[in-house]
Amino acid sequence: MPRWYMLLARCFGCAVIEDTWHYFLHRLLHHKRIYKHIHKIHHEFQAPFGMEAEYAHPLETLILGTGFFIGIMLLCDHVILLWAWVTIRLIETIDVHSGYDIPLNPLNLIPFYAGSRHHDFHHMNFIGNYASTFTWWDKLFGTDSQFTAYVEKMKKVEKKTE
């Protein structure tokens, strides 16, 4: 049985690997020559909900799903780690597709966690916010600039209504 801190570290490693894979391949799926054939199916819903997370073209499922398994192949040495990673990934996937930004969500305690607002904007805007779990790739490559501007605009609107 792995120690709790090793379990946590390896699950984090799996999340980083999956997020990196997802960011670059998801961004590629938004290329104008590819988007209409594969990824457009997932974007039929502009307001995501939990079950919609898995609504995708079979090729998209294979392409983006591969990132989930890379971490397992590199870091998994115990069935408990496999169960933990599957559980964490399912919870995170449903959370970002839930359509709700729950203030007391424990996932929001994770630094750089993208969350549902980040992903909802992606479905609303179709451009940017390509990461699945963390925001660092979007920040590094500037693919969250429209989202950042939108958040700032919403803060100003909230201040005016108070």
Domain enclosing residue 111, as ranges: 4-159
| pLDDT given at position 48 | 66
Using an 8 Å Cβ cutoff, are 16 and 136 in contact? Answer: no
| pLDDT given at position 102 | 81
| pLDDT given at position 66 | 95
Number of domains in the chain: 1
Rounded CA gap, 135 and 114, in Å?
A: 5
128-158 pLDDT, tens per residue? 899 989 999 999 999 999 999 998 998 888 8
Query: Tokens 């938004």 — which residue?
Result: 30
Query: In a structure prediction context, what are the per-residue pLDDT tens digits for the chain, which is 162 residues long?
Result: 889 999 999 999 999 999 999 999 999 999 999 989 988 888 776 666 666 667 788 999 899 999 999 999 999 889 999 999 999 998 888 888 777 788 888 888 888 998 888 888 888 887 889 998 999 999 999 999 999 999 899 888 888 877
Is residue 104 helix, strand or coil?
Answer: coil
CA within 13 Å, CB half, 114: 32
